[in-house]
Amino acid sequence: MNWPEFHYHWEWQLQSKPEAFWPFISDTNRFNHDTGVPSITQRPDPTLTNARRRLRLFRFGMPVEWEEEPFEWVYPSRYGVVRHYSSGPIGEMRTLAELTPQAAGSHLVYEVWARPRNLLGLIGIPGQIGVLSAWGFNQAVRRYDRLAAKRASTPADWIGPVTFAEGGRERLATLRETLLKQGAAPDLVHQLVETLLRGDDIALARLRPYGLADAWGLKRRAVLELCLWAVRAGLLDFQWDVLCPLCRVAKQQTTSLGGLKTAVHCESCNIDFTANFERSVELTFRPNPAIRETQSRDFCFGGPQNTPHIVAQQLLAPGDRRELSLPLEPGRYRVRTLNLRGGQLFQAAPDGQLTQTFRITETGWANDEPRVALAPKLQLENQTGAEQLLIIERMTWSDQAVTAAEVTTLQLFRDLFASEALRPGEQISVGNLTVMFTDLRDSTRMYRQVGDAVAFGRVMSHFDVLKAAINAESGSLVKTIGDSVMAAFIHPVAALRTILKVQHELANPPAGREPLQLKAGVNYGPCIAVTLNERLDYFGSTVNLAARLEGQSAQGGIVISDAVRNDPEVAPYLESIRDLIHVEPFTTQVKGFDQENFRLWRVTLTQANEFSRL
């Protein structure tokens, strides 16, 4: 029977601009939850292509199943989706949300088209969508507008049903005092406790420390360290999320590094990839179940905010053409599809072209990298014989992610979670790291001159100085080897600042103590993480060369590789202290590197009267 289609149209005048309101309305997982849609499950179906999904929910005990077309959107103006139902009261439903900027705020139009599948749908759609959903939509939109107008929201803003474990509130109060006694900042502890008291399950399911810090207006490292201390105290748990390099959605979650599997498959993008610490492994947090019980459920898959780096997604039939107008932030972008390999890069810049055409062809993509304006008109053409899901995405990754590469080089993490290590035999890339090796000069002679006990005490004291300086620069002491140290940092300049300050402090001890001279080698490049002696360790040619560079240093000197010297942060730093140091290039062969000639740099501290500038 050909049932009539229902059409519903709602409009709102908003205080917030489209760019501010978009993250809220395009978070379809949150929107469905807030408007009363039950949780859903995904049913694998290898016959579906281009991000189509087979989904299922239960409403009033009755199963409802459907095939969902891929969401289509253009940031920050519109998104929509089509669903074809195979069971339940509805046969087909389409939704479309459109945001239009205005002089003050913006205008939102939200539309739903629903065709009944049977008599129950004919009777139920007006009540369910026309009344109940309409009320829920209005409540959610008004709430989102208030939050968007604030320009920043925190998990504590998402007040919802909260279920504490038995005795959970009492444990929360006790652990709050524990954190304060350990020296945590009261304002940080207050913000975290308020979040756990008020935030709903969706808000707390995946807490990102840097996102919290930005919303609270506090220092990122301080919030990350608070979260780590909260895990140790039993207030939070952490988990490692392995992200697909294309859609950047978590495809594997584990509560320990030992549970990581480096070979991962993404069903949505239909790719296999290898996890690495620098890009695809992120550390996130959630409440400890002994404090608060949270349920991790899904209410929508595939909405725009699931992949916020994708600024536009369009489904193009064979031969289809489409024009998009969208605002772009300066930077690098890529146009790609799910079915074709590769893609075409382009740059967004103020002096770019106002129009640009991107063609999808059977032979691949154009090799050029055009430069487009920040508000361009993009012409999209599908010149293949197959349907293509076209994606325009920012190439930059979110700077709010705490990557495994970063957190595992943090001294506090290694101190609190010494047992966090990969499975024996497992290797995983950590991307580029800065590796530093140090060694006390003439330590053997010191042991003979002053005796083992005194010399050992001095060595231990120098370890304390090194560890404190490494921690201050967000690095970590990986291991000690006799009186030598291996340390790791994300940024080369942090390693250089560390060793210069330590050298100065050891060379200028308090009265009554003998000065010590520390040699060092610093290198920067790709590393592999492994488990060695039940601790997380690093190896590879970058590590091997750093160890050899330490041997090239003279008394109290530092030898750095060309990669460190030419780092964009190191060059201006060395220039800023050029009156305190001497920098000398030299070329030499390094043992174990097949007689290769290396261009290296020897950095020597020459002035000791302006230590604060180092």
Is there a domain that residue 400 lies in?
no
Please tell me whether residues 249 and 309 are part of one structural domain.
no
Minimal CA–CA distance to 386: which of 365, 357, 364, 362? 362
Strand 310-316 and strand 388-394: pairing?
A: antiparallel
Is there a domain that residue 505 lies in?
yes
Q: What is the pLDDT of residue 145?
A: 94
Is there a domain that residue 481 lies in?
yes
Please tell me whether residues 576 and 488 are part of one structural domain.
yes
CB 242 within 8 A of CB 281: yes
Please tell me whether residues 567 and 424 are part of one structural domain.
yes
Please tell me whether residues 437 and 572 are part of one structural domain.
yes
Please tell me whether residues 109 and 21 are part of one structural domain.
yes
Q: What Rg do the C-alpha atoms of the chain give, in angstroms?
A: 29
Please tell me whether residues 73 and 139 are part of one structural domain.
yes
| CATH code of the domain in which 555 resides | 3.30.70.1230
Q: What is the pLDDT of residue 607?
A: 65
Is there a domain that residue 594 lies in?
yes
Please tell me whether residues 101 and 194 are part of one structural domain.
no
Is there a domain that residue 404 lies in?
no
Q: What is the pLDDT of residue 427?
A: 87
Minimal CA–CA distance to 573: which of 515, 477, 469, 501? 501
C-alpha span between 290 and 314 (Å, rounded): 44
| Count of domains for the chain | 4
Minimal CA–CA distance to 485: which of 522, 432, 531, 516? 522
Please tell me whether residues 388 and 249 are part of one structural domain.
no
Measured N-to-C along each axis, helices 220-233 and 186-198 cross at an angle, to the nearest 10 degrees, of: 60
Please tell me whether residues 423 and 572 are part of one structural domain.
yes
Q: Which of 101, 136, 151 is the last residue of a domain?
A: 151
Is there a domain that residue 591 lies in?
yes
Q: What is the pLDDT of residue 606?
A: 83
pLDDT along the chain (614 residues), means of 10: 92 96 95 94 90 92 93 97 96 97 95 95 93 95 91 73 88 94 94 92 91 92 96 94 89 90 86 88 94 88 93 96 95 93 94 95 91 96 96 88 92 90 86 91 60 61 88 93 90 95 85 80 93 88 92 82 93 90 90 82 78 65
CB 158 within 8 A of CB 205: no
Q: Is 429 helix (H, G, I), strand (E, B) or coil?
A: strand
Q: What does the block give as tokens for 217?
A: 């207006």
Please tell me whether residues 83 and 167 are part of one structural domain.
no
Is there a domain that residue 535 lies in?
yes
State the residue range of the domain holding 63.
6-151
Q: Which of 297, 330, 358 is the last residue of a domain?
A: 297
Q: What is the pLDDT of residue 77?
A: 97
DSSP 79-141: EEEEEEESSSSEEEEEEEEEEEE-SSSEEEEEEEEEEESSHHHHHHHHHIIIIIIHHHHHHHH
Is there a domain that residue 207 lies in?
yes
Rounded to 10 degrees, the C-alpha dihedral 440/443/446/448 comes to 170
C-alpha span between 282 and 276 (Å, rounded): 10
DSSP 2-67: -PPPEEEEEEEEESS-HHHHHHHHT-HHHHHHHTTPPPEEE---TT--TT-EEEEEEETTEEEEEE
Q: Give the 3-state DSSP-derived string for 61-87, with helices as H, strands as E and coil as C.
A: CEEEEEEECCCEEECCCEEEEEEEECC
Let me know the angle formed at the C-alpha of 132 by 126 and 137, rounded to the nearest 5 degrees: 115
Q: What does the block give as tokens for 87?
A: 């069971």
CB 598 within 8 A of CB 591: no
Q: What is the pLDDT of residue 232?
A: 93
Phi, psi of 206 (to 5 degrees): -150, 80
- How many helices (H) and strands (E) are present in the chain, helices listed first? 17, 27
Please tell me whether residues 63 and 146 are part of one structural domain.
yes
Please tell me whether residues 289 and 309 are part of one structural domain.
no
Q: Which of 230, 262, 297 is the last residue of a domain?
A: 297
